[in-house]
Structure 1
Amino acid sequence: MHRLLHRHLGKAVAGAALALTGTAAMAAVTLPAGAGATGTTATRPAEAGAPAQGRDPGAPPPGVVEPAGTQGVRGHGRDPLTDDELRRARDLAQPRALRNAARNVTGRPGPEPLLTDLAERRPAEAGLADPPRRALVSFYDYATDGYVTTTVNLTTSEVEATDTQRGVQPPPSHAEAVEAARLLIADPLGAGLRQDFRQATGHDLTGPDPLAVTGFVYRGRAEGDAPGALAACGPHRCVRLFTKVKNGPWIDTRRLVIDLSARTVARLG
């Protein structure tokens, strides 16, 4: 473990949190709350049929949470979007022409989905008893490096507005973080990650499945000096990773940047 902690790339850290330092734009980043070396809590569940430790045997039993009711096809008011509304919103926001022309993070047809959420009411609709329900759908098109947001009226099934921006990089989705890990593992610069995983687990790392990864955007020169290989980050979609062995230690990969648009890996500093 001593060698593991001092390797040039991978620093496996068995702790509840890790103080992070980076570029000026991420000077106060911390690991996700509650993350420990094993990824589990120390609480031991009570045995079946046994009274909870420290509880008065004469006390009433704990309350039971009722299961969620059947979800309707359409929500009402400010209800969260139903599953049916989520599907309809995404379908309306991605017409066939867009699905054929756009590319997701793996290079397959169709844009990369990011968020679909209930849109705010318009001021003129504030007094309506049953105002239209709208969804705001966002995705990233790797064919054009465009961040696309579309407003869909779920009441009329119409697309009301579409906005495409370039150089705007929202937080990556989990699918994008997993693909970034896949590219890193396969790259020569991922050698330290592979070695540290082998030392921590005794197994070879051939894909992202044994890892818990969280991605955050790297914006290139907007964050300070960027090496030549990373000069395109900002217009390109680039991410850095928090990397952890599932039920195991953290491995420090923060100095590596994965350009998902170019599908390349480079090192900071």
Structure 2
Amino acid sequence: MHHLMHRHLGKAVAGAAIALTGTAAMVAVTLPSDAGAAGGTDPRSRPAAAAAPGPGRDQGPPPPGVVERPPVEGERGRGRDPLTDDELRRARDLALPRTPRGAARNVTGRPGPEPLTTDLAELTPAETGLADPPRRATVTFYDYRDDSYLTKTVNLTTSTVESADARHGVQPPPSRAEAVEAARLLIAAPLGSGLRQDYRDATGRDLTGPDPLSVTGFVYRGRAEGDAPGALGDCGEHRCIRLFTKVKNGRWIDTRRFVIDLSARTVAHLG
């Protein structure tokens, strides 16, 4: 991995990241502040503040700008307003399983399922014309105890759970916490030696944890994606993650051929 990485760093890996994820987060493009100016000769290219003041204008400095305070966010939104912070907290609390929390496990093995998403739920056809329809949220979790994907719809108006579903073999995109845990496992594994060496080559420092890295995870579904030798055949039922890895404010390091099985907490390499 060490000798191969440098051929994949920078632009080449960034391009692959865009192709696989389709997100603008993988590459940032900064235009110079004078982009479009032709040698400064076009008066339209000059900042307005540089123009000479007209007759009768105050020659002194302009008054300081006024920054308006953001509107105060209420505890409850209305209609199709986005969920407020209070509603997000209430939705997750309502959706947590009513069985003892110790029965479920998150990505690190601690009690409680791993939270994934909380979104405003759709209205029923009968509710679309109401002036103040009920506020509902769809909350999803992943339970590492039995590899189940949990979905609950909660009514924030009545503080009740209206529906619940648990499915196996469903692998939604990973959360940031799951990607960070996958990076932690890779760094600590014998197979992570190349990543550790590439980080040291790039920074001169040892890599002992995921904090110096920017990581984005994407699901690996095992045999559903082709040949999955050995333990990789469990992926799809297990929660398996591959990573795009970048030194913060630095180089890309190609870790896409590694599969981190978060359910079994093991690391494998795609040959």
- TM beyond 0.5: yes
CA, structure 1 residues 10+187, in 2 after alignment: closer, same or farther (shift >3 Å)?
farther
Correspondent of 1:216 among 209, 218, 222 = 218
Give matches, 1:181-200, under 5 Å.
181-200=183-202
CA distance in 2, matches of 1:20, 1:98: 44
- Does residue 256 of the first structure (1) align with residue 258 of the second (2)? yes
How far residue 54 of structure 1 moved from its aligned partner, in angstroms, is 2.5
TM-score, normalised on structure 1?
0.85
- Does residue 158 of the first structure (1) align with residue 160 of the second (2)? yes
How far residue 150 of structure 1 moved from its aligned partner, in angstroms, is 0.1
> 1:118 matched to which residue of 2?
120
CA distance in 2, matches of 1:123, 1:63: 47
How far residue 56 of structure 1 moved from its aligned partner, in angstroms, is 2.0
Contact conserved, 1:218 with 1:238, CA < 8 A, in 2? yes
Task: Specify the SS of the correspondent of 1:104.
Answer: coil
Deviations 1:151-199 (A, max 9, x none): 0000011100001111000000000000000000000000000000000
Give matches, 1:34-73, under 5 Å.
35=26, 41=30, 54-57=46-49, 58=51, 66-73=68-75
- Does residue 33 of the first structure (1) align with residue 24 of the second (2)? yes
CA, structure 1 residues 148+194, in 2 after alignment: closer, same or farther (shift >3 Å)?
same
Larger RCO, structures 1/2 (Cα 8 Å, 6+ apart):
1
> 1:178 matched to which residue of 2?
180
Correspondent of 2:171 among 163, 169, 172 = 169
Identity rate of aligned residues, in percent? 69
Correspondent of 2:10 among 10, 14, 28 = 14
Count of aligned pairs:
251
User: Which residue identity lines up with residue 243 of structure 2 in the other structure?
Assistant: L
> 1:50 matched to which residue of 2?
none
Contact conserved, 1:146 with 1:166, CA < 8 A, in 2? yes
CA, structure 1 residues 95+33, in 2 after alignment: closer, same or farther (shift >3 Å)?
closer
CA distance in 2, matches of 1:10, 1:149: 42
User: Which residue identity lines up with residue 202 of structure 2 in the other structure?
Assistant: A
Contact conserved, 2:13 with 2:252, CA < 8 A, in 1? no
User: Which residue identity lines up with residue 56 of structure 1 in the other structure?
Assistant: A
Q: Which structure has the greater CA radius of gyration?
A: 2
> 1:266 matched to which residue of 2?
268
Contact conserved, 1:17 with 1:34, CA < 8 A, in 2? no
Deviations 1:184-220 (A, max 9, x none): 0000000000000000000000000000000000000
CA distance in 1, matches of 2:25, 2:163: 40
Give matches, 1:224-243, under 5 Å.
224-243=226-245
Flag structure 2 segments of 5+ consecutive residues without an equivalent: 34-44, 54-61
Deviations 1:209-237 (A, max 9, x none): 00000000000000000011201000000
The CA RMSD over aligned residues, in Å, is 2.8
CA, structure 1 residues 256+247, in 2 after alignment: closer, same or farther (shift >3 Å)?
same
> 1:104 matched to which residue of 2?
106
TM-score, normalised on structure 2?
0.84
